[in-house]
Amino acid sequence: MKAVYIDKAECGNLIRYTAILGLKRELYATAIGKVLLAHFSPERLESYLDSVVLERFTPRTLVDIPALMSSLNKVRASGVCITEDERIMGASGVAAPIADHENHVVAAVGVAGPTSRMRRLRPRAVTLVIDTAKELSQLLSRQAQEGMFGEL
């Protein structure tokens, strides 16, 4: 099970981190993936952890299950995930959950960039992803109430 990038907006900076649409990334080593993992049911999370080999991509990748669980607990409590150099050295991310009309997390929205820039812009990035995730969650709820999706 992996996270898939389905849309993106590029920045105008010459030095940037860019995700390839359709790219699949490990859930445990990305901000978006950790947001999704943090909202798995306990049974689904246990099944995921039993089936995945936690590969170390950088010195900062969490490959120890207790450390990963602690990180997921923080994501769940704060409503946002911040990663720094966990999947790719020099790239960091911020992500927040998108919930459906029944308040189940179905996706995540995130911002990623070079670590030096993300450190400087982190407070703004956190606010943007949280606000965007809330807006998208509300949109999903409204569309479900209006029957735009039929039976979900």
Report pLDDT digits (tens) over 34-55: 999 999 999 999 999 999 999 9
Structure tokens at 136: 């998208």
Q: Residue 20: pLDDT band by 50, 70, 90 thresholds?
A: low
Lowest mean pLDDT among 17-31, 47-61, 72-86: 17-31
User: Nearest to residue 87, comparing CAs of 37, 34, 30?
Assistant: 30
Does the residue 150 lie in any domain? Answer: no
* CATH code of residue 87: 3.30.450.40
In-domain check, residue 103: yes
CA–CA distance, 106 with 137 (Å, rounded to integer):
9
In a domain, 151, yes or no: no
Stretch 15-21: mean pLDDT:
60
Predicted TM-score (pTM) of the model is: 0.82
The domain containing residue 16 runs over which residues? 2-145
Asked, for residue 75, whether it belongs to a domain, the answer is yes
Number of domains forming the structure of the chain: 1
- Give residue 152's pLDDT band: very low, low, confident or very high (50, 70, 90): very low
Residue 152 lies in a domain: no
Q: Is 90 a member of any domain? A: yes
